[in-house]
Amino acid sequence: MSALPEPEASVMQRMRSVATLDNARNLALAYVVLHFGCIWLRAIRATGPIGLAKAAYHRVATFVVGLVLRIPANRRRLEREMNKAVLDIESSLMPSTTVPVQRELPAYGRTAPWIEAQLAALEHLGSSKDGENHDGTRVWRDGRCSGAVYHGGDDLSALISSTIARFLVSNPLHPEVFPGVRKMEAEVVAMVLSMFHAPSTAGGATTSGGTESILMACKTMRDWARAERGIKHPEMVIPNSAHVAFDKAGHYFGIKVRRIPVDPMTRKVRIDLVARAITGNTIMLVGSAPNFPDGIIDDIVALGELARRNRIGLHVDCCLGSFLVPFLERAGFVSEPFDFRVDGVTSISCDTHKYGFAPKGTSVVMYRTKALRRYQYFVSEGWVGGVYASPTLAGSRPGALIAGAWATMVRLGIDGYTESCHMIVGAAKKIERIVREEIPELTILGKPLVSVVAISSAGSINIYDVADQMSKRGWHLNALAGDRPAFHIACTRLTVPVVDEFISDLKDSVAQSRQRAAKPGTYATVYGMGTTTPMAPYVIGEMASRFIDTMYKIA
């Protein structure tokens, strides 16, 4: 205000104040140019000119698609096509059944036997339609699923069921009411910390799953960086192969995510590019042990060194590796450094509900120091409902699941997990070896050390056609949309007995795909489209949302 000229100010004064205003304007302009110039320079350095060009293309394409869809005729045509596709989704997600639709609460409560009968029907809903399961067995039972079901055997299931029944109403939000659950929760964390060779300073927490563990680790590092490094515009540098939960964390917590390509041969994140992408705003790096797409363990030692040199965090995502990677050596397999023994690793996520065989809805996030864990907590001193403190996202939490995890881990022990690692990784190794030796049309991505084997085309064959053929034979595999078109199988205890079937079906599928001239199947359509048309991201995104809509449809 003081820079504004008074009405009767002298010419000199006026000139001086105009000059000041000009200066201010120039300064502001210079600041803006410098600020955005820096952002662009950093972006170019981090992403490279090709990456930047791709991003620019993506923006232009999104804009053009927006324009095209403004034309009503185009919009209507696309709507019609998508509605047709939604009907397909609905017929597969909502198979017809005799179980009545329950739109509202029944006026009078049903009897237990009536409910039992409906549950029995619901348990097998959809089984007879799916591939080979005409005998009414549950789809996942026969082991033709990649990942998805981490079954620890029927005896263990019985133990988990009775444990859950015993702690059904418990809630660790009230540790003074449920001291037994508190003890088990602390011990679950301690047992996992010791599996990952955590120092005595370390601490952890249980969460509802891998995604929550990752969300918590990212939020913790964001708050740490803000408090101790003054970083207000946080960024994380993660491999292209890292789990999408990191994007979710970036989305929820306002952290910019920079994805870095993997080496096309080793499938490990390119350390030189990670180093280049680190800026003054970087709060953390990420490595996977192993990653979801091709099951490869990143170079955690090199990432740890980068993290240490830049005084930032390194999170190791061992959600999938969970209770396999820590037991690889003991089970007689080759391993790579992945845990707190590596300098620079500040946090690790490990899913008890994957290869730990604990009930779904349990995972552990660990920090090198308890001081770091503090940044995860939420504490409110002034709430009218009383002082409130909770360690993770949820308020009330299922103590029954924690008890189930505790019982599972204590039941299996080091010997049990070593044996399951031996079986599961052994199955993956067998698939890898036979594909390499006996199916020249196919190739394996990288050198997998754990349970995931990613299979790609060695040349002329369309790998998504092979996936479609496998799907016709009743296999639920994961299609991969990365730099190399591929699909993967994550071996579980259920796949162990059907490895030979997998291999013979794979050989048949390859033979079929070679002579195939018919129209492409679902995998080939959805993933073959990839990024070849600018419309694809829009359509796939919209279809994914409609898929979720369908999940909440009753009839």
- Which x/- pattern, by CB under 6 A, does the window 115-144 give for ligand PLP? ------------------------------
For residues 29 and 356, give the distance between their C-alpha atoms in angstroms, rounded to a whole number: 57
Which lies closer to ligand PLP via its Cβ, residue 248 or residue 276?
248
Please give the backbone phi and psi of residue 466, each rounded to the nearest 5 degrees, phi first: -60, -45
- Which x/- pattern, by CB under 6 A, does the window 486-525 give for ligand PLP? ----------------------------------------
Question: Minimal distance in Å, beta carbon 361 to ligand PLP?
Answer: 9
Which lies closer to ligand PLP via its Cβ, residue 124 or residue 248?
248
Decide if residue 429 touches ligand PLP (CB under 6 A): no
Which lies closer to ligand PLP via its Cβ, residue 127 or residue 322?
322
For residues 164 and 176, give the distance between their C-alpha atoms in angstroms, rounded to a whole number: 20
* Residue whose token pair is 């003074």: 176
Decide if residue 320 touches ligand PLP (CB under 6 A): yes
Q: Which of 551, 523, 522, 358 is nearest to 457 (CA)?
A: 523
Which lies closer to ligand PLP via its Cβ, residue 245 or residue 486?
245
Which lies closer to ligand PLP via its Cβ, residue 247 or residue 432?
247
Is the omega angle on the peptide bond into residue 290 within 30 degrees of 0, that is, cis? yes
Decide if residue 288 touches ligand PLP (CB under 6 A): yes
Q: b vs e for 502-523, b when ≥16 Cβ sit within 10 Å of the residue's Cβ?
A: bbebbbebbebbeebeeebbeb
Residue 96 buriedness (CB in 10 A; 0-12 / 13-18 / 19+): exposed
Please count the residues of this chain forming the interface with ligand PLP, following the rule CB under 6 A.
13
Q: Which stretch binds ligand PLP (CB under 6 A): 182-190, 286-294, 406-414, 505-513?
A: 286-294
SS3 316: strand
The residue with its CB nearest to ligand PLP is 210
Q: Which of residues 22-51 bind ligand PLP (CB under 6 A)?
A: none
Q: Which of 435, 490, 501, 426 is nearest to 463 (CA)?
A: 435
Question: Minimal distance in Å, beta carbon 345 to ligand PLP?
Answer: 16
Q: In sequence order, what are the beta bridge partners of 332?
A: none
Please give the backbone phi and psi of residue 551, each rounded to the nearest 5 degrees, phi first: -60, -25
Decide if residue 292 touches ligand PLP (CB under 6 A): yes
Q: Which stretch binds ligand PLP (CB under 6 A): 105-113, 277-285, 313-321, 410-418?
A: 313-321
Which lies closer to ligand PLP via its Cβ, residue 352 or residue 509?
352
Whether the CB-CB separation of 488 and 295 falls below 8 Å is answered with: yes
Which lies closer to ligand PLP via its Cβ, residue 203 or residue 239?
239
Question: Minimal distance in Å, beta carbon 292 to ligand PLP?
Answer: 4
Q: Which of residues 335-364 bind ligand PLP (CB under 6 A)?
A: 351, 363
SS3 405: helix
**Which residue in the set 47, 206, 281, 291 belongs to the binding site for ligand PLP (CB under 6 A)?**
291
Whether the CB-CB separation of 103 and 554 falls below 8 Å is answered with: yes
Which lies closer to ligand PLP via its Cβ, residue 292 or residue 406?
292
Decide if residue 245 touches ligand PLP (CB under 6 A): yes
Question: Minimal distance in Å, beta carbon 349 to ligand PLP?
Answer: 7
For residue 31, count other CB atoms closer than 10 A to its CB: 10
Q: In sequence order, what are the beta bridge partners of 155?
A: none
Question: Minimal distance in Å, beta carbon 161 to ligand PLP?
Answer: 21
Residues in the chain: 555
Which lies closer to ligand PLP via its Cβ, residue 34 or residue 148?
148
Which lies closer to ligand PLP via its Cβ, residue 243 or residue 484?
243
Which lies closer to ligand PLP via its Cβ, residue 127 or residue 220?
220
Task: Give the sheet arrangement for strand 203-207, strand by strand.
Answer: 203-207, 363-367, 347-350, 313-318, 282-288, 235-239, 256-260
Q: Quickly list DSSP for 490-551.
A: E--TTTGGGHHHHHHHHHHHHHHHHH--S---HHHHHHHHTTTSTTHHHHHHHHHHHHHHHH
- Which x/- pattern, by CB under 6 A, does the window 200-229 give for ligand PLP? ---------xxx------------------
Please give the backbone phi and psi of residue 527, each rounded to the nearest 5 degrees, phi first: -85, -25
Please give the backbone phi and psi of residue 204, each rounded to the nearest 5 degrees, phi first: -155, -175
Which lies closer to ligand PLP via its Cβ, residue 215 or residue 283?
215
**Which residue in the set 243, 270, 368, 429 belongs to the binding site for ligand PLP (CB under 6 A)?**
243
Whether the CB-CB separation of 66 and 60 falls below 8 Å is answered with: no
Which lies closer to ligand PLP via its Cβ, residue 258 or residue 354?
354
Decide if residue 319 touches ligand PLP (CB under 6 A): yes
Q: E strand or H helix at 292, and its extent?
A: none
Question: Minimal distance in Å, beta carbon 208 to ligand PLP?
Answer: 8
Decide if residue 298 touches ligand PLP (CB under 6 A): no
Question: Minimal distance in Å, beta carbon 128 to ligand PLP?
Answer: 28
Question: Minimal distance in Å, beta carbon 363 to ligand PLP?
Answer: 6
Q: Which of 154, 202, 175 is nearest to 364 (CA)?
A: 202
* Residue whose token pair is 């180093």: 275
**Which residue in the set 223, 235, 299, 317 belongs to the binding site for ligand PLP (CB under 6 A)?**
317
Contact residues: ligand PLP, CB under 6 A? 209-211, 243, 245, 288, 291-292, 317, 319-320, 351, 363
